[in-house]
């Protein structure tokens, strides 16, 4: 009798699930990224694809195209807006040309640690930023961690703030990044990430700045000798879907995408943090000389960057900057955030 009841329950569930499953149509989402397949970002996207498939009975499919196969962050974001690409995961700085307040996330020496970043990005402040994207043809499904950025170069160890002077460093194609490194005495050179390895290999630039996970996964140790743990900026990625694609999904399909994105966000952060913990040891094994930038030298850098912080706080919105600093002050128990 028990088996018969179980069989009846299974039949009822199948009958109920039938119409729901029928509402899910087959969709294939192309996801383009600039990073390699070995990077935690790509692994998190594969996890996202697995979640999508599991939740949709295999009807929602995400295919990942890594290593810039579909373009760089700027061109892929543009393709999403035009509806010719379904998904990408650019650095948040890529979105500043569309929504200026996104720039505050990259203001130098803003976040002290990853927990602060999670709290701000997952809270009202981060959600408010994401809510600005639909008007630009984009849907923000969550913030992923890129991490704290560090400087590498092929010329000399950086042990003091002054050691950056004269180094030709590739930076993200962003006025904030340009002004930041020019203010520190470097020769900041904007360049798409997909061109960076070759530029360093050929000596067109001396170095670059990125989190440890990216430095390792992109094998920059093959063309860079020195790395300094400068932690000068925190970087976040934004998991994006084309609004045209989103609008073509049913409410049920949208919920599946959102649920898969939420789980993939947690997976991505856990994965990149674990990867970053071992990255330094792996980079040392690969022959990189890694130095820590003392707190006093970080303070010197912060001092040099005061005009840049003032300029871009105004550029990105003084109200937005104040709101972010207010959120950080709450997290720090009311401690005033240094400007």
Q: Please tell me the total count of domains within the chain.
A: 1
pLDDT category of residue 23 using cuts at 50, 70 and 90 = confident
- For residue 166, name the pLDDT band (cuts at 50, 70, 90): very high
Kindly report the pTM of this predicted structure: 0.87
- Does residue 213 sit within a domain? yes
* CATH code (residue 309): 3.40.190.170
Residue 168 domain flag = yes
Q: Which domain holds residue 224?
A: 2-331
Asked, for residue 281, whether it belongs to a domain, the answer is yes
User: Is 338 domain-assigned?
Assistant: no
pLDDT tens for each residue of 221-272: 999 999 999 999 999 999 999 999 999 999 999 999 999 999 999 999 999 9
Burial of 11 (0-12, 13-18, 19+ CB in 10 A): exposed
What does each C-alpha distance from 98 to 88, 93, 244 come to in angstroms?
16, 10, 17
Higher pLDDT among residues 339 and 176, named by residue: 176
User: Cα separation of 98 and 121, whole Å?
Assistant: 18
pLDDT band at 13; cut points 50, 70, 90: very low
Whether 337 has a pLDDT exceeding 90, the answer reads no
Neighbours of 141 (CB within 10 A): 23
d(CA 96, CA 317): 12
Decide if pLDDT at 335 tops 60.
Answer: no
Question: What's the pLDDT band for 20 if we cut at 50, 70, 90?
Answer: low
% of the chain residues with pLDDT over 90: 90
Length of the chain: 339
Looking at the domain assignment, is residue 308 inside a domain?
yes
What is the C-alpha to C-alpha distance for residues 48 and 264, in angstroms, rounded to an integer?
5
Q: How far apart are CA 239 and CA 235, in angstroms?
A: 13
Q: Does 24 map to a domain?
A: yes
Instruction: State the DSSP string of 265-326.
Output: HHHHHHHHHHHHHHHHHHHHHTT-EEEEPPHHHHHHHHHHTHHHHHHHHHHH-HHHHHHHHH
Report yes or no on 337 lying in a domain. no
- Range 176-191 average pLDDT: 97
Over residues 60-80, the mean pLDDT reads 96
Q: Is pLDDT of 219 > 60?
A: yes
User: pLDDT confidence of 2, banded at 50, 70, 90?
Assistant: very low
Spatial CA neighbour of 272 closest among 40, 33, 36: 40
Q: Which two tokens stand for residue 227?
A: 């790395």
Q: Is residue 336 part of a domain?
A: no
């Amino acid at each position: 009798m028990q088996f018969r009841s179980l069989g009846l329950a299974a039949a009822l569930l199948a009958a109920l699930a039938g119409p729901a499953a029928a509402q899910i149509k087959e969709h294939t989402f192309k996801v383009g990224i600039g990073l390699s397949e070995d990077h935690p970002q790509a692994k998190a996207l594969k996890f996202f694809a697995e979640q999508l498939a599991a939740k949709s009975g295999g009807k929602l499919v995400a295919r990942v195209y890594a290593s810039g196969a579909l373009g760089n962050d700027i061109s892929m974001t543009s393709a999403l807006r035009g509806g010719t690409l379904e998904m990408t995961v650019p650095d948040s700085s890529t979105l500043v040309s569309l929504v200026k307040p996104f720039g505050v996330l990259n203001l130098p020496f803003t976040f002290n640690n990853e927990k602060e970043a999670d709290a701000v990005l997952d809270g009202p402040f981060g959600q408010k930023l994401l809510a600005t994207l639909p008007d630009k043809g984009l849907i923000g499904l969550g913030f992923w961690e890129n991490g704290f950025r560090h400087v590498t170069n092929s010329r000399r160890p950086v042990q003091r703030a002054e050691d950056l002077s004269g180094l030709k460093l590739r930076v993200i194609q962003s006025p904030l990044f340009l002004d930041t490194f020019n203010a520190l005495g470097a020769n900041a050179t904007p360049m798409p990430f997909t061109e960076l390895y070759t530029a360093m290999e050929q000596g067109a630039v001396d170095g670059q700045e990125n989190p440890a996970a990216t430095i390792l996964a992109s094998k920059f140790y093959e063309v860079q000798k020195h790395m300094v743990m400068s932690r000068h900026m925190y970087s976040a990625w934004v998991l994006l879907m084309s609004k045209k694609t989103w609008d073509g999904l049913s409410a049920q399909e949208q919920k599946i995408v959102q649920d898969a994105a939420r789980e993939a966000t947690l997976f991505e952060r856990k994965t990149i943090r674990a990867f970053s913990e071992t990255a330094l040891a792996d980079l040392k094994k690969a022959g990189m000389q890694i130095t820590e930038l003392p707190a006093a030298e970080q303070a010197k850098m912060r001092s040099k960057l005061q005009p840049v912080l003032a300029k871009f706080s105004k550029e990105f919105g003084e109200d937005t900057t104040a709101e972010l600093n207010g959120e950080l002050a709450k997290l720090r128990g009311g401690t005033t955030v240094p400007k």
